[in-house]
């Protein structure tokens, strides 16, 4: 397998971000809300803050204890919606049990929803507005494009846990000419010997070893967006990468694949939103 590492892709995106920020007369600003003590969430927010600083993007953190009420969170979002210096808002997921994720995400101004999963933005993306693509599917597509392989007219299978996410990923692929179909992860688990007969296979389930070498065709492009821990505590993806290393094709690995690209795409979206709000005297 030829590995599609995320760092070179992310580096290219960050270079573009810094060049675009240098042309602005305002500083793009991202506000992040983090609720609770999830160690992975705190790590992800720290990584985003570090990359934002390197790209010239202001970063505002709201770190809240796990017992913070939903009304308190909504109050913060309302203030950020009105703050003209804030161009993007991110609620770090997952939220603690008892909080209504859909309600909290839905409270954001869709024009500041940097992650892209506000219902308004998803509907607009599915209706054809490519600028509304959610960040995670965008990162998966960036990794796929990094293979350098022709995509127009190629078959694709999206292995997902959620039909809602699957529809978004199918649309993201269709925007690049892929002829895709969706397969729920549970079907792959229950139908022994299923072959994922497509040139491109994208997966985002968080289920270790869900996809094995026996289930793909030669020369498949595998984009692994699943993140989980195996029995030994290692971070792994959905693809059994160790046992298909000698097969032909391409693989975006976990770790080392989608993570840095997702952060880069997120910060690029902040800059895009700032560009939409830039002062009139800035040249286009």
pLDDT at position 230, please?
Answer: 82
| 119: enclosing H helix or E strand | helix 119-126
Task: List the chain pLDDT tens, one digit each, 284 residues.
Answer: 899 999 999 999 999 999 999 999 999 999 999 999 999 899 999 999 999 999 999 999 999 999 999 999 999 999 999 999 999 999 999 999 999 999 999 999 999 999 999 999 999 999 999 999 999 999 999 999 999 999 999 999 999 999 999 999 999 999 999 999 999 999 988 887 899 999 999 999 999 989 998 899 999 999 999 998 888 888 899 999 888 888 899 999 999 999 999 999 999 999 999 998 864 443 33
Q: 209: which 2 tokens?
A: 């070893």
Domains of the chain: 12-130+260-276 (3.40.50.10860), 135-257 (3.40.50.720)
User: What is d(CA 200, CA 178) in angstroms, rounded to the nearest whole number?
Assistant: 9
The DSSP 8-state label assigned to residue 196 in this structure reads B
pLDDT at position 283, please?
Answer: 38
- Name the pTM for this structure: 0.93
User: What is d(CA 56, CA 54) in angstroms, rounded to the nearest whole number?
Assistant: 6
Q: Rounded to the nearest 5°, which phi and psi values hold at 86?
A: -95, 125
| 230: three-class secondary structure by DSSP | coil
22-51: per-residue pLDDT in tens? 999 999 999 999 999 999 899 999 999 999
pLDDT at position 103, please?
Answer: 97
Locus of tokens 């570090």:
50
């Amino acid at each position: 397998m030829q590995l599609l590492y995320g760092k070179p892709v992310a580096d290219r995106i960050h270079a573009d971000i810094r060049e675009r920020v240098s042309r602005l007369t305002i500083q793009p600003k991202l506000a992040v809300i983090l609720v609770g003590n999830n160690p992975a969430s705190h790590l992800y927010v720290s990584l985003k803050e570090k990359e934002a600083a390197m790209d010239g993007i202001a970063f505002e953190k709201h770190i809240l204890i796990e017992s913070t009420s939903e009304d308190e969170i909504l109050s913060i979002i309302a203030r950020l919606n009105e703050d003209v210096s804030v161009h993007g808002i991110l609620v770090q997921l997952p939220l603690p049990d008892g909080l209504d994720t859909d309600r909290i995400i839905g409270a954001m101004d869709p024009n500041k929803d940097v992650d892209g999963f506000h219902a308004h933005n998803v509907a607009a993306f599915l209706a054809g507005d490519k600028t509304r693509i959610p960040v995670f599917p965008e990162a998966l597509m960036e990794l796929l494009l990094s293979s350098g392989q022709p995509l127009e007219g190629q078959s694709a299978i999206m292995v997902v846990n959620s039909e809602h996410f699957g529809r978004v990923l199918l649309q993201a692929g269709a925007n690049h000419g892929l002829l895709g179909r969706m397969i729920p992860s549970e079907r792959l688990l229950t139908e022994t010997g299923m072959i994922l007969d497509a040139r491109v296979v994208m997966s985002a389930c968080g289920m270790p070893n869900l996809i094995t070498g026996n289930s793909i065709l030669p020369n498949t492009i595998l984009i692994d967006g699943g993140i989980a821990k195996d029995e030994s505590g290692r971070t792994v993806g959905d693809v059994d990468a160790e046992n298909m290393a000698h097969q032909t094709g391409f693989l975006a690995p976990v770790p080392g694949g989608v993570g840095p690209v997702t952060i880069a795409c997120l910060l690029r979206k902040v800059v895009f939103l700032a560009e939409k709000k830039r002062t009139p005297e800035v040249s286009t």
